[in-house]
Amino acid sequence: GENVEQHPSTLSVQEGDSAVIKCTYSDSASNYFPWYKQELGKRPQLIIDIRSNVGEKKDQRIAVTLNKTAKHFSLHITETQPEDSAVYFCAVRGGWMDSSYKLIFGSGTRLLVRP
Amino acid sequence: DAGVTQSPTHLIKTRGQQVTLRCSPKSGHDTVSWYQQALGQGPQFIFQYYEEEERQRGNFPDRFSGHQFPNYSSELNVNALLLGDSALYLCASSPSLKTEAFFGQGTRLTVV
């Protein structure tokens, strides 16, 4: 079945710097790639997503890039702020019968933005 | 407009007991999925309901069952609770089968 690997597991950056989180997936038929932010004790919040017919998508300080050939996608956060500190999860959906509805999540990246 | 709501927020049960968790989807959403999130891990798919039927199921035993009602709300039932069932149970709703999923705040289940 589909497998999603996420790196790094922890990331510490200085306020104002950029942060990049990467995910790889195994099913080449996957077609939807969301990113979620989860603050301590709160729900996962959808922050950006991309579909397989698009290579890049940007929303203010957040961007996601997708390389379908290499089967990896990345989250880019620019001008980081302390409130960006949270756990970030990538997820994958789509593909053939087995994975057509469910989201498969990476193991998460704990981002710490130092003031 | 209320988002996805879940009840209860916290629950403590004893091994062997049964539990029912509830979810009300976001207005306009007809698809409900349930996920289990163990501490320090990503959510894992349990199953999805659409048109009151289970459309897809993850790798969870039959002790996990669910239901969707005509108003699209959903229940997750877990029988014969094990210590390992302790986790955050998340409900996610979507406006249709293959679109964005929005999560509720979750139910924190502790089995003792």
Q: What's residue A34's pLDDT? A: 96
Residues B92 and A46: their CA atoms lie apart, in Å, by: 11
Q: What's residue B96's pLDDT? A: 78
**Taking CA atoms, what residue in B is nearest to A30?**
B98
**Taking CA atoms, what residue in A is nearest to B96?**
A101
The CA-CA-CA angle for residues B109, B78, A101, to 5°, reads 95
C-alpha neighbours within 13 Å on the C-beta side of residue B8 = 9
For chain A, which residues score pLDDT lower than 50?
none
Nearest CA-CA distance, residue A63 and chain B, Å: 17
**Number of helices followed by number of strands (H, E) in chain A:** 0, 11
Q: What's residue A53's pLDDT? A: 83
Are the Cβ atoms of B48 and A105 closer than 8 angstroms? Answer: no
Distance of CA A60 to the CA centre of its chain: 16
Instruction: Name the average pLDDT for chain B.
Output: 94
> Are β-strands B74-78 and B19-24 bridged in parallel, bridged antiparallel, or unpaired?
antiparallel
- Average pLDDT on B34-59 reads 94
Q: What's residue A78's pLDDT? A: 98
- Alpha-carbon Rg of chain B, whole angstroms? 13
pLDDT at B21 over 70: yes
Q: Which residues of B touch A103 (CB under 8 A)?
A: 33, 35, 43, 45, 92, 101
* Tokens of residue A72, six digits: 């990896």
**Taking CA atoms, what residue in A is nearest to B42?**
A107
